[in-house]
Structure 1
Amino acid sequence: MAIQLHDSSKGLEQLQILHALQLAPRAPWAQLSGVLGVDSSTLSRRWRRLNDAGEAWIACQPGYRADWYYSQPYGSTAYVEVTCEAGYQDSVISALSRIPCVWTVECTTGSRDLLLTVTTPSWAELDRIVREQLGRIDGVVKTVTNPLRRFYVQPGDWRLNALTADQEQAILTMRTNQHAPDPGSGRRQPSPFERQIVKVLAADGRLSMAQIADATGRSISGVSRVLHGLEASGLLSFRLDFNQHVIGYKLLSTLWIEADQNQLDKIGAFLRRQSRTVRECVSMVGQANLYVHMWVQDLSAVDLLEAQLIQRFPGTRILDRWLSTRFAKRAGHLIDNDGRRHGFVPSLGL
């Protein structure tokens, strides 16, 4: 039975843990204890229960702002729409989920059956993968590739509403003090040891320093120093992922928008401020040049955002809208029909 987080005082405490981990995914429980007012052993136990049940996990991946995400082996990313032959969707999902360069598999309503996030070293390789691998899966009728240009809102930017403003600020300050940003150092390729750390953390981003040291054969102090540098430089990012159904966010809505190209940065800035609704916003190449994905509790939130966009940015058109019925894979993590994590497929290059 799924753990329900939105229907009890204990559930509220667990939501606060999740919100805290959105802000600081690897924060020690001893530090979060003072902010949340719950002893560290209780925090650890409740997290372990959620994690063991597949209801929540910490994803780890190359930072979107790092050069190496857009070079080898992460050079070119696109949303690929997939139309399936009737009766083949489950087998198509199973085949797609095993492919390392397919980061995300999303089941949708509307004109496509699935929406994939696919990342490859180059546009030529992306074209080859779509034609020779994705397009040849039994049951795939049609694919449409939509190249990505720029992330305005990353999936890890979406926030729950379980902490007070003071608690949020305390955790953000704590994290900033530990990992002071160093944007300049992100303009480089990671070392073999740094890549090894990312590979170890890919399946479980909350592994302890001792566990990482054991897996890499390095000292705890060496691992700690390098990992802190990766986070500060933006070469590595962590995010909390979870079964959105257990927290009451059962509606996953997507808008494809046509907007004035000169207005995209302003629209992106506006959508970044909608951190309780907008989970992802990316500019694309195509007639729809903006993708907006929302996690909401009620479709009225989607209606409100549409109205605000059209009012604030005249000429903006909503070309398509649909609901996501479920994720089968998200950032490499496999997800079952009930929204629980049940496995992991390492991405290319990790």
Structure 2
Amino acid sequence: MESVDDVDRGLIHALHLDVRAPFSVIADVLGVSENTVARRYKRLRQAGVLRVVGSVNGFLLGRMSWTIRVRCTPDVAAPIASALARRPDTFWVHILSGGTEISCNLQAADTATRDTLLMDKLPRSTRVLDVTAHAILGGAATEWAGIRHLTRAQARRLAPEPPTNEPLRLDAEDHAVLAALAKDGRTPYTALGPSESAARRRVARLRRAGVLVLDLDVRPEALGHHAEARLWLTVRPAALKATADTVAAHPETSFAAVTTGRTNLVATVVCRDAGDLYRYLTERVGGLDDVHTVETAPLMRTVKRSGLEPVPHAGLGQQVPGV
């Protein structure tokens, strides 16, 4: 695992705040040279410690996101996860504890594509034992504390304006820009359009509307965190929003959302080790009076986070036909 120092951690936090911040601005905030920032970014990216990717806020385009669980025999978990990761409409593909379950999020462009995957392609395999899917009704804002390193004053210099989350009609050039940024969120403006100024305006427009979401994918192990887990909670309906906000505010939480289904709150937490995860479950979650049940599954392998591409060097098997 690539080691990181204070400059690396400052760069990672800076990119988390604004993944397209110019290296010159980040260098000024960190008090180092622009060449140092560029060199560190290149090293961390090549080592697979971080990636910058763009994704589409499907809610603003009328799409519904789904959280999916696939139970299967251990021999097909890796190839099924690999096949799911290669789909452009999936993100956050994980193989869970025991290697017999896959968790992923789906944001299909239309109901026919969603139904074909969930009711035809996945159940077709004799080694897929069970498939469940629940709609994500709304997410809660999270900021995993493990990524923080800058002071509040430094962070204020980098944080972009919040999006307006307004409906936006996309054209062919918008889709081309979104596809390019899904592969590399720091693709130069000169490669995104007929002119740098036009591309800059287009990206700004997409970000301002909230349609384009730029994320920093970081391997938590590089920051000293080795215990990730997916949680499914059953919460008293009247307290669901308050509980979702509380869980999202936990420093260990990297993702939290309200869903349909028997469990109605899903979350991902990142802890330093198994002991830290135990304390989180027994003290933080265990202390929430309105949480009736909690199901926990440690993440064995992250096959895909956001963006179009699977996580590099994931050691995946061959694609399962038809997925």
Shared fold by TM > 0.5? yes
CA deviation string 1:148-179 (max 9, x = no partner):
1111136xx4341322222222222xx33xxx
Q: Is the 8 A contact 2:168 2:209 kept in 1?
A: no
Aligned residues: 313
CA deviation string 1:213-250 (max 9, x = no partner):
3xxxx111111111111111111110100222222111
Distance of 2:163 and 2:290 partners within structure 1: 38
1:206 has 2:186 as partner: yes
Distance of 1:235 and 1:56 partners within structure 2: 23
Distance of 1:99 and 1:30 partners within structure 2: 36
After superposition, the Cα gap between the structure-2 partners of 1:335 and 1:288, relative to the gap in structure 1 and judged at 3 Å, is: same
- Find the counterpart in structure 2 of residue 12 from structure 1: 6
| 1:321 alignment partner AA | T
1:168 has 2:155 as partner: yes
Distance of 2:221 and 2:187 partners within structure 1: 25
Gaps of 5+ in 1: 6-10, 341-350
- Find the counterpart in structure 2 of residue 343 from structure 1: none
Distance of 1:138 and 1:38 partners within structure 2: 57
- Find the counterpart in structure 1 of residue 123 from structure 2: 135
After superposition, the Cα gap between the structure-2 partners of 1:259 and 1:110, relative to the gap in structure 1 and judged at 3 Å, is: farther
Q: Is the 8 A contact 1:4 1:246 kept in 2?
A: yes
Q: Is the 8 A contact 2:67 2:134 kept in 1?
A: yes
Distance of 1:50 and 1:81 partners within structure 2: 32
1:55 has 2:52 as partner: no
After superposition, the Cα gap between the structure-2 partners of 1:280 and 1:240, relative to the gap in structure 1 and judged at 3 Å, is: same
Distance of 1:85 and 1:300 partners within structure 2: 29
- Find the counterpart in structure 2 of residue 316 from structure 1: 291
From 221, 225, 246, the counterpart of 2:222: 246
Q: Is the 8 A contact 1:104 1:329 kept in 2?
A: yes
After superposition, the Cα gap between the structure-2 partners of 1:265 and 1:112, relative to the gap in structure 1 and judged at 3 Å, is: farther
Q: Is the 8 A contact 1:104 1:116 kept in 2?
A: yes
Distance of 1:257 and 1:35 partners within structure 2: 40
Q: Is the 8 A contact 1:326 1:339 kept in 2?
A: no
CA deviation string 1:282-303 (max 9, x = no partner):
1111111001111111345444
Per the TM alignment, residue 141 of structure 1 is displaced from its structure 2 partner at its CA by 2.4
Q: Is the 8 A contact 1:244 1:339 kept in 2?
A: no
Distance of 2:207 and 2:149 partners within structure 1: 25
Tell me the secondary structure at the aligned position of residue 225 of structure 2: coil
**5 Å matches for 1:1-350?**
2-5=1-4, 11-63=5-57, 67-68=60-61, 71=62, 75-109=63-97, 113-123=101-111, 125-137=113-125, 139-153=127-141, 157-159=143-145, 160-172=147-159, 175-176=160-161, 181=162, 183=164, 186-213=166-193, 218-274=194-250, 276-306=251-281, 307-311=283-287, 313-331=288-306, 332-336=308-312
TM-score norm. by structure 2 comes to: 0.88
Distance of 1:240 and 1:91 partners within structure 2: 26
Per the TM alignment, residue 258 of structure 1 is displaced from its structure 2 partner at its CA by 0.8
Sequence identity, in percent? 20
| 2:144 alignment partner AA | W
Tell me the secondary structure at the aligned position of residue 131 of structure 2: strand
Q: CA RMSD in A?
A: 2.4
Distance of 1:96 and 1:18 partners within structure 2: 28
Distance of 2:74 and 2:50 partners within structure 1: 32
After superposition, the Cα gap between the structure-2 partners of 1:300 and 1:169, relative to the gap in structure 1 and judged at 3 Å, is: farther
CA deviation string 1:118-161 (max 9, x = no partner):
2213455423211222222463222121221111136xx43413
CA deviation string 1:28-72 (max 9, x = no partner):
0111111111111110011011112222110101136x511xx2x
After superposition, the Cα gap between the structure-2 partners of 1:141 and 1:182, relative to the gap in structure 1 and judged at 3 Å, is: closer
| 2:152 alignment partner AA | A
Per the TM alignment, residue 25 of structure 1 is displaced from its structure 2 partner at its CA by 0.7
Tell me the secondary structure at the aligned position of residue 249 of structure 1: coil
Distance of 1:328 and 1:14 partners within structure 2: 24
Distance of 1:132 and 1:146 partners within structure 2: 17
Q: Is the 8 A contact 2:53 2:183 kept in 1?
A: yes
Distance of 1:158 and 1:238 partners within structure 2: 16
| 1:88 alignment partner AA | V
